[in-house]
Amino acid sequence: MTQTGKVVFFVGSGGREDASAFCTSRSPQVGKIYVAPGNGGTQRFGGIRVDVKPTDIEGIVTAAKERKTDLLFVGPEVPLVAGLVDAAVALGIPTFGPDTYCSQLEGDKIFTMIKGREWDVAIPDFGYTGTLAGIEEFLADPRFRVVKRRGLRAGKGVTVAETKEEAFKAARTIIENGELVLFQERLSGREASAMRLSDGLIRKRLLPARDYKRALNGDKGDMTGGMGAYAPVPDVTPEIDDRIDAEIINPTFAGLHREGKRFKGVLYAGTMLTSTGPKLLEYNVRFGDPEWQVLLRLLLNDPYEVLEACALGRLADITLRWRAGFAICVNLVAGGYPNDYRKGDHIYGLQDALQVPGVEIFHAGTVLKDGIYYTDGGRVLNVTAVGDTLEEARARVYEAINHIHFADMYYRTDIGLT
């Protein structure tokens, strides 16, 4: 960072925000980095923590304005859906992230499916209801076994049921909470994360990534916020990526455009690669966590320039360049995550892990006290590695992990394998 450089203000406290701030701190254009609220890792690259919660919209925009922010980066979905970008833009702060209207694509899963049908996006068959009779009706059709909450649930509001009984239980719980339940046709295939940057005028394709949402090896266990990722994904060929654009992304942007809306930031399509082509499972309106961490390891551009170009409508000036090879991320989590887990355990071995070639470690649920890192959340660390092959990246990441220890540490050993 340089004394006279730009002021960048990151909102969030997880691995995605840490990786973004860490990589941006290397930009020769950047002078100061604030992270609200950040985590135990923020200080290691000279970032300054700001004690404001991401959900405190007024607090964030005031803090960003006071610090003469040149670029505000909103990492998580909750403040996006709650209107942070509109509030920041109203104060003249250049901001990376979509407005409140476009953020509904993540904030309201029923909205997305209704719009998807209207805009001719490749989506699964779906329906929604708020009654027990309605649930019975949907479940009489054996295709409807994916049960979703309408709103934000940190990736944990989805049940992909094996049986009618399991689907019924999940759906009943949702309506008992007074919410509508969304049913989707259960599709088979591999999932892939397709992200597109947009400056409101044009968009650019990021490398395809794959994340691992379930807690245990072999895609068993509870849904989590993400246990690991890798990129690029060889089975997302350029032809499949073209179909994702043609059948999912382009009709979505065209639909928004017809409504007079401009999406700025990153649109993340969670897709299923079915035998008849890619289908949209859901949209996110921010970078995937931890997919973005692996893409950042491969991105050769200055991340500040890329993020700023999206905020300022100058994405046409940017040619994205990628390192050849692969990147992988394995999340080290506190045992028990995504359910109850302990906090406050000493983290050992980070310096040794960082000696492994190609390795970088991003912080998520950590806290720094008297120079020592302790666990402070479910997803504790994102250990990443690059390699010329996926096998090399995998070998490096797990070698690095062998050096790290904290009580009850848990991670999947099959990231990049299946």
Amino acid identity of 205?
Answer: R
Nearest residue to 2 via CA among 20, 26, 38: 26
Cα-trace Rg, the chain: 21
Per the CB < 8 A criterion, the answer to whether 411 and 401 are in contact is yes
Nearer to ligand GLY, 187 or 285 (CB): 285
| Dihedral sign (CA 413, 230, 81, 125) | negative
> What span, in angstroms and rounded, lies between the C-alpha atoms of 241 and 398?
30
- State in angstroms the smallest separation of the CB of 339 from ligand GLY: 18
- State in angstroms the smallest separation of the CB of 378 from ligand GLY: 14
Nearer to ligand GLY, 41 or 155 (CB): 155
- State in angstroms the smallest separation of the CB of 373 from ligand GLY: 24
Nearer to ligand GLY, 13 or 284 (CB): 284
Element (H, E) at 184: strand 181-185
Amino acid identity of 330?
Answer: V
Q: What does the block give as tokens for 295?
A: 């893409």
- State in angstroms the smallest separation of the CB of 20 from ligand GLY: 13
Nearer to ligand GLY, 64 or 124 (CB): 124
- State in angstroms the smallest separation of the CB of 127 from ligand GLY: 23
Per the CB < 8 A criterion, the answer to whether 125 and 51 are in contact is no
Distances (CA, A) of 390 to 25, 353, 394, 395: 27, 19, 6, 9
| H-only helix segments in 200-290 | 238-244, 250-258
Nearer to ligand GLY, 41 or 288 (CB): 288
Nearer to ligand GLY, 30 or 249 (CB): 249
DSSP 299-324: B-S-HHHHHHHHHHT-GGG----B-S
Nearer to ligand GLY, 209 or 356 (CB): 209
Nearer to ligand GLY, 12 or 226 (CB): 226
Distances (CA, A) of 279 to 9, 194, 240: 35, 11, 11
Nearer to ligand GLY, 50 or 265 (CB): 265
> Residues 397, 30, 372, CA angle at the centre, nearest 5°?
45
Other Cβ atoms closer than 10 A to 230: 27
- State in angstroms the smallest separation of the CB of 191 from ligand GLY: 10
Q: Residue 354 burial (CB < 10 Å; 0-12/13-18/19+)?
A: middle
Nearer to ligand GLY, 128 or 212 (CB): 212
- State in angstroms the smallest separation of the CB of 371 from ligand GLY: 31
The binding site for ligand GLY (CB under 6 A) comprises: 155, 211, 226, 284, 288-289, 291
> What span, in angstroms and rounded, lies between the C-alpha atoms of 17 and 22?
8
Q: What are phi and psi of 209, to 5 degrees?
A: -130, 165
> What span, in angstroms and rounded, lies between the C-alpha atoms of 22 and 331?
17
Q: Which residue in the block uniquely carries the two structure tokens 């790290």?
A: 404
- State in angstroms the smallest separation of the CB of 114 from ligand GLY: 21
Q: What are phi and psi of 397, to 5 degrees?
A: -65, -40
- State in angstroms the smallest separation of the CB of 246 from ligand GLY: 24
- State in angstroms the smallest separation of the CB of 229 from ligand GLY: 7
